[in-house]
Amino acid sequence: MTSNPTKPAAPAERFQSFQEFWPYYVREHRVPMCRWLHFVGTTLAVLVIVLSVASGRYAWLATVPVVGYGFAWIGHFFIERNRPATFQYPLWSFLGDLKMWWLMLSGRMEGEVRRAVAAGP
């Protein structure tokens, strides 16, 4: 399942706040499998961080971006068929990943997607 290929690209203007960015971020993650790949990547990245610190094997921290972003980028390039927001909005994208992870864990992400898609670009 892929997203609509005619959907608009990232807005040309820069977002002024995370609150403005969030609906755009959500629309870029409308396909559930893409969101689940993000969830897995974020979860594994956090586990690597915890295990690295707990074991004193700090070299493992070098794998965190690969683990975290690897899953997410597979979702974007092969499922959503869009460009990851990380490239243009690295900090807000990271915060969006964490917020989406929490909303998925708490079962509230699907409602966010419905609202953001209904509101449009």
Whether residue 13 has pLDDT greater than 50 = yes
- To the question of pTM greater than 0.95 for the whole model, the response is no
Whether residue 7 has pLDDT greater than 70 = no
Q: Residue 85: exposed, middle, or buried by beta-carbon count in 10 A (0-12, 13-18, 19+)?
A: buried
Q: CB count, 10 Å around CB of 89? A: 19
CB-CB contact of 31 with 2 (8 Å): yes
Give the pLDDT confidence of 21-41 residue by residue, as tens digits.
999 999 999 999 999 999 999
Whether residue 77 has pLDDT greater than 80 = yes
Average pLDDT over residues 48-60: 98
